Every structure is written in C-alpha cells, then in structure tokens.
Amino acid sequence: MSDLAPYIPPSDEDLRRLIRFSVDDGRIWLAGQRMLLIHAAALAALRRELIMSLGARYTRQYFMRVGFTAGHSDAALAKTVRHDSSFFEKFMVGPQLHMLEGAVRVRILSFTADEVSGRFYAEVRWDHSWEAEMHRRDFGLSEEPVCWMLLGYASGYTSAFMGRRILYRETACVGCGHDFCHIIGKPLEEWNDEQEDGAILFDRTYAPPQVSIPPRVQTARPDPPSELIGRSPAFRAALEKLHAVAPTRVTVLLTGETGVGKERFARLLHKLSPRAENAFVAINCAAIPFDLIEAELFGVERGAYTGAHTSRPGRFELAHGGTLFLDEIGDLPLPAQAKLLRVLQESKIERLGGGRCRKVDVRIVAATNRNLEEAVREGRFRADLFYRLNVVPIHIPPLRERGEDIQALAFALLQRFATLHDRPVPTLTDRACHALLHYDWPGNVRELENLIERLVITTPAGMAIDASDLFPNLAFSRDGAIVTSHGLLSSEGSNKPSSSLVDELIANGLTLETLERKLIEEAIQRARGNLSAAARLLGLTRPQLSYRWEKKYAKRKEKSYSSRRNPSSSMTEA
Ligand SMILES: [Zn+2]
C-alpha cells in the first residue's frame, strides 16, 4: 500500500510559484484566482452549524458543490502550467494544488486514464483530511464518510480535466474510524448513483433545499457522565464487557498500563452492580509493606503480633456486601497469595492471630499492569490464584492506541478543570491537537489529566494552548514552505528540522576532525555568531575557541557558512 513507485508526483515547484501573497493589498493569488487563507476551525464551524440546522444530508450536498467549484477552477491551471508534461503530470496539478491549499495529503494508488477515449479510473489515498479531522472533533465517529468538500473537489477537478463527468466516492474514511481515507473515481455512468451525487454536482437545474425543509436539529451524542469518555473500538469493547458483567458477581481482572484508569473502571463496575449501595474498598498491594499486607487484607486480633494493641477488621470485612478492589495484585507476596486464594475459595476470613472464621460476601475486582501469565511462569504468582482471578479479564487500552478519544478527553478535561479551578476554558490550537495525537502518553490518561490541569491553571485568560505549551521539551517541526518578502512560497529558509548532527556526520564521513568542526559550527550557529557564547556552550574559553575556529577551519568554511547564513548574522564579539 505504501509503495507508490509508479505514481510519484512531479515537483510542485511550478505550482508554488503560482501562489502569491500580496501582503500589502490584503490579497492572496493562485495564478489569476483570488484565494483565502481561512481558519479550518471557521469553516468547520460553518459546517457544524449547517449540520445542526439542515442535517447531514443537505450539508453534504452544499459542501460537495463548494468543493466541486474549487476543483473546477483549479483544473484550468493544469494544462497551462504543465503544457509540456506527460498526461499524468498534468493531472497531478489538481492533487498537488489540493495539498498546497492545505485540504489533504493525496497519494495516487492506481491511475488509468485516456484522453481520447475518455476512459478514467483512479484510486487515491487521502491522509490528514481537514474535514475528517474536524468532523470527528465535533461529532465523533460517523457511520458514513465525511470528506464531502474534498470529494466535490476531486470530482470537479477531474471532470473539468477529462471533459466528462467523473464522480468520486469514499470507500474508507478517517471520519468512520479508518486509518486513512480511500477514494475511487470513475465516470458517473459506471456508478450506481443511489445518492444522486450526479444530479447534485452536474445538474445545472439542481436546486439546493429551500428554507421550507424542516430544520432537523442534530445533537451530538452526549458523552457518558463519568470520566470514562471514549469511542475508540478497543476502549468501547472494554466498557461494554464491563457493563455486561457488572450485574453478576463474577471476579474481574483489569489489565492495562499504569494510568489507564483501572480504578475508575473498578468503581464504575461497582456502581453498576447490585452492590452499589454497599462499600467499595480499594487496596493497592504494591503500596503496603510485605509484612503488613496480610493484616491489611484480613484484619488482626489483639496480640496477634508485637504492636497489635487492638483488634481491627481487614479490607475484606470492610468490603462485606460490596466490592473489594485489589490493585497491583501482581505485587502481592506469595504467602499472602496463598491466604487470598483460600479466602476466595471459602468466602471466609480469619483475622491474624484469631481463631474465629468470619463469613464474607465480597466481590473481587483485581487489577495489574504486569503480565501475570509471565509471573506465573516465573513462579512469582500462583497459577491457581491467577485462574481464580482471571475469570473475566478486561484489557484497558493505553491512551496512545485511542487516537480518536484523545481530543474528546482533552476537551472534557479542559472543561472539568476550568470549572474546578474557576478559570476560563482555554482553547487548543490545531497544532496542539495534532501534538496530542502524536505524543506517546507513557503515563496514559493520568498524564493527560495532570497536563491539562496544569495548563488550565497556568494559561492566561484568552490565550490558546499551543503544541509547545503542551510539550515544551519536544521539538515541533514547522516544516513546510514560508512566504518570502516577495510574497512567494519558498522552501528556502523554512524551519525544517535540521537533520541531526550525527546523521550529517555519517553522511560526510565520520572523522574526529569533522566532528570537531561540526560541533564548533553548531555552537556558533546556536550562539548566533557570538563567539564568547559559543565557547561557553562548548566548555571552552573564548581564546581557545577562537584559536580552533580561526586557525583551523575558518578559511575553509567561510564560503559555505556565509552562503548559508543571512549576512546580517555575521559573527559578533561579545
Ligand atoms: Zn474521509
């Protein structure tokens, strides 16, 4: 799927040159067409409001037609800018402009077209569709594909380019939870057009719905009241399993990494069970010293050991009639495991140092972030206890595998902490949302919560949270082209992340001399040409650096250094 060798697009340099930012008079041009740089969020707001008032069906029609117009306009450029190129290269003007315009990343998977006969078939992969991204943010997962404007664009462009009616359809869409959008384009007649897209796009007499159409107010599905927000398949599967077993008294084993919310699952299970009126007692087996864990679990009678001055019940007795949550069960010492097993088998406990058996009615929910099967193999966990606990295992997925939930969670947490701390609700920039999705979340939901709470407290009112506020220690590439002072898009001077020093060295042949030279260059660049500051970075004195730099490399490097750097950043002395 990723090997696209036959369909490598030509350079888009010619197209970049068509985009002009006429900054002084407030206009942007794509060749002769006036363009707008509009916030995706603004267009998304329009889209959302149309969906809420007219319903998805009519909004889809409007957006397809808007996209169609844009695609149609761009097709005019294809044959003029690439008049000497191959048919495929000319065709690629549309997909490449669509990318430059920021709509989506386009990759051609299959392409068959013939100018003379009008035959056309294309399969395309879309990534980063703005529509899918925004739709999911506003409405969650959809059952139908949602890239309406993009589809309209592809249809409008190709139809104008081929001079016949070509219609595209999405066969997979990120909006439905797929990893990428997949579209197929072919002549209208070859489709079974049950959605009447042909009429919507190509029929000049098509009338958009009038106001007389009863407005259909669609409300986004409400989020669950608890913090257990999530629509990703793995998370939903876990939640559904939990709902299914909650009314029973079966033992449940929750597995998942630290911070995924195991205790919340356990509490919800309790709340949904017939025991909800009785106690929910939690104990973290890893947090209690080995020699005290049995007393904690089963209770003690006075005089059971030195220091046991009074009798007290253990957690089992406290949880009588309710639920006992045994967190980090994998850390329970072996002797305690043996006792626990007996309690589970007999539903009776005996306090430490006391002969009387007490009947207990407790539902057990255990949790672990360890691989208990492995612990069993290694003899650290009793196999019989494992089988006793592992009656219904529920795996809670880590946050990084819940891509579709991260934004919804972040927004819910922003609301919650803003209310809690009586602060305004900060917004997240699109780049921040993107960063949330691409971060690894080793601490899972707990890490996200801590992060959002801190940001709610520290973000000044009216400020949006950007990617660098979320993860100040991570480098965010602002890769891409910049607008030069002449109003042109240019890759030069763009803040592309420079390849690492090591990569560069390996590419240039790794010698001690080049290493030293590269290090000095890097330090001087970072110090913006200030030699004293560069020397400090390298742990050298200013004369030591100056000796190494000027005597050994300055002459050799002068040309390439000054050609790469802005002349104004010439070396200065501190
Ligand atoms: Zn899509």
Sign of CA dihedral 494, 495, 496, 500: positive
For 361-414, give the DSSP string. --EEEEEESS-HHHHHHTTSS-HHHHHHHTTEEEEPPPGGG-HHHHHHHHHHHH
Distances (CA, A) of 321 to 275, 316, 318: 7, 10, 9
176 alpha carbon – ligand 1 mean position (Å): 8
pLDDT digits (tens, 9 = 90+) for 184-229: 999 999 999 888 899 889 887 777 655 444 443 333 333 343 457 7
CA distance 449 to 187: 50
Distances (CA, A) of 316 to 22, 324, 367, 406: 74, 7, 16, 37
**Does position 534 have pLDDT exceeding 50, yes or no?**
yes
pLDDT digits (tens, 9 = 90+) for 222-270: 334 345 778 888 898 999 999 999 999 999 999 999 999 999 999 999 9
Contact (CB, 8 A) for 162 and 188: no
132 alpha carbon – ligand 1 mean position (Å): 5
Among 93, 124, 127, CA closest to 110: 124
Contact (CB, 8 A) for 51 and 220: no
Q: Are strands 348-350 and 357-359 parallel, antiparallel or unpaired?
A: antiparallel
- Both tokens assigned to 259: 């911070």
CA distance 261 to 66: 44
- Both tokens assigned to 149: 């404007």
CA distance 476 to 256: 30
For 503-570, give the DSSP string. HHHHHH---HHHHHHHHHHHHHHHTTTBHHHHHHHHT--HHHHHIIIIIIIIHHHHHHHHHHS-GGG-
- Both tokens assigned to 324: 């006992």
181 alpha carbon – ligand 1 mean position (Å): 4
546 alpha carbon – ligand 1 mean position (Å): 57
80 alpha carbon – ligand 1 mean position (Å): 30
CA distance 509 to 497: 21
pLDDT digits (tens, 9 = 90+) for 127-177: 999 999 999 888 888 889 999 999 999 999 999 999 999 999 999 999 998
456 alpha carbon – ligand 1 mean position (Å): 33
529 alpha carbon – ligand 1 mean position (Å): 48
72 alpha carbon – ligand 1 mean position (Å): 20
Q: How far apart are the first and last CA of the chain?
A: 55
224 alpha carbon – ligand 1 mean position (Å): 26
Q: What is the mean pLDDT of residues 112-125?
A: 93
Report pLDDT for 162: 94
How many residues does this entry show for the chain? Answer: 574
Task: Write down the mean pLDDT value for the chain.
Answer: 83
For the packed helices 555-564 and 512-526, what is the interaxial angle rounded to 10 degrees? 40
pLDDT digits (tens, 9 = 90+) for 283-308: 999 888 888 899 899 998 887 777 77
Our CA angle for 337, 339, 343, nearest 5°, is 115
**Does position 571 have pLDDT exceeding 70, yes or no?**
no
139 alpha carbon – ligand 1 mean position (Å): 14
CA distance 8 to 11: 9
pTM: 0.56
For residue 432, give the 3-state DSSP assignment: helix
142 alpha carbon – ligand 1 mean position (Å): 10
148 alpha carbon – ligand 1 mean position (Å): 8
Where are the strands (E) in 402-467, listed by range?
427-428, 464-465
For residue 284, what are the β-bridge partners?
327
